[in-house]
Each structure stands twice: as C-alpha cells, then as structure tokens.
Amino acid sequence: MATYNEIATANAAIVTTNIRGKEYADVAQRVSAFRRVYPQGTIRTEMVSNEGDAGRRVCVFRAVVGVGDTILGTGTAYENEGASNINRTSYIENCETSAVGRALGFAGFGIAGGIASAEEVARAQEQQTGPQSAQEARRRTEAPSAAKQPITEAEAKRLEKLLTQNGLNVSAMLNTYHVTATVELTPEQYNEATEKTLAWAKKQQAARKQTQEGEGA
C-alpha cells in the first residue's frame, strides 16, 4: 500500500477549482492522483437503481476504489433527471462520476476542500441558485488547468518496471511523448502510458490463454 507521503505528493499536484471561496478538486484530478499512486488500482461502478417516470427519474450509483482485494474507499451518489439543464441529458453519467469522486475522496485523494468534488458542488449550486449561476460555476470548473509538474522518480521507475515486465520498450514510449527520460512525463502522459500498457498486457494474456486452450483441445 502507498504511504501517506506518496498520497500527499499526488494531492499536491492536483489543480483545484474555487467555488464560493473554497477549493475543490474535480473528479478527473482525483482519478489522475489515484493513478499516480496506484497505476494498477481499480475503479468499479455499479448502477444501484434508476427509477421513476420519464423526465423525473432518480439514478443511484455506487463506486468502489481499491488495489487487488483491498478496498480503499466507497462512494454513493444520486441524481434527479430533471434537476438541472445538464441532468436532462446526462444525469446517469453525472451520477456515476459523482460516485467515483466520492469514493476517491474517501480514499484520501483531492479532499482539501471536502469530500464532494467540484462537479458535485457546481451541480448542487445550480439546483439551488438556477442555471445562470451554474453556468459560471461550470466555466470555473472547466477552466484550463495550470501547468502541472512532472511525475516523481518513484513513478518513473514504476512505469519503466511495468513496461519491462510486459516486454515493452521504454525508449519507444519516450519517443511517443517526445521526452528523453521517463521522469519528464506529465501526470496525464504517465496515466495514459500506464493505461495503455495494462490494456496491452491484458490483451496478450487473453491471446495466450486462447492459444493454450486451442493446444489442449
């Protein structure tokens, strides 16, 4: 498991959004921090319910984040289909995102302003004050992020080890992102490289299993 300092370092790289004088981390920032600390961690979601009349349905999602068999945090969220303009078309997606954000918050990621994510606070504000205030909140939430610092040496070594274990070339990865050393990667590039490597490894494992089953037939 990660140490407190590793989580604190990942949280320090999070770019927050100021809403009514408090700083909140959006869900994407929390996911990025989580992947920096636990590149092989899991984020699982489940729709608990989605009931009601068309246009007024209520969706409930549950999210669980963990590493292997260890659960690091859980989160539950609900959204009303007609509660806001964006919910009229995306209430299910918003519900899932909120649940993930809360699960990551309980796991210790991006909680400087509280467990609620920036998106969750902005939607709550829209429901309380109307569309015009909500649009301003969303503009702040979606504003371009400040420049992010490179990944740590520990993260660089972790990615290099993951690539090597799966028979992939570190130099090829560096060329892809136009850097000369793994430590020069941004958190986003690090997350992308990790996800691609894990997806490739999973695909290769499935192919090997299929070959072995064919040979045993």
Upper half-sphere CA count for residue 79 (Cβ side, 13 Å)? 27
User: Is the residue at 146 inside a domain?
Assistant: no
Neighbours of 215 (CB within 10 A): 7
Please give the Cα distance from 51 to 58 (Å, whole number): 6
Same domain, yes or no, for 126 and 194? no
Average pLDDT, the chain: 85
φ and ψ at residue 98, rounded to 5 degrees: -65, -40
pLDDT given for residue 128 in this prediction: 61
pLDDT given for residue 23 in this prediction: 87
User: Is the residue at 148 inside a domain?
Assistant: no
Neighbours of 53 (CB within 10 A): 8
Which is nearest to 14 in space by CA: 2, 1, 26?
26
Domain end call among 86, 113, 141: 141
pLDDT given for residue 33 in this prediction: 95
pLDDT given for residue 217 in this prediction: 61
Query: What is the model's pTM?
Result: 0.60
pLDDT given for residue 126 in this prediction: 67
> What does the DSSP 8-state code read for residue 182?
G
Residue-range definition of the domain harbouring residue 206 = 153-216
φ and ψ at residue 22, rounded to 5 degrees: -120, 150
Domain end call among 109, 141, 173: 141
> What does the DSSP 8-state code read for residue 206?
H
Same domain, yes or no, for 112 and 158? no
pLDDT given for residue 144 in this prediction: 44
Same domain, yes or no, for 110 and 162? no
Same domain, yes or no, for 126 and 76? yes
Which is nearest to 4 in space by CA: 37, 48, 31?
37
Given a cut of 50, the residues of the chain with pLDDT beneath it are 131-134, 137, 141-147
User: Is the residue at 8 inside a domain?
Assistant: yes
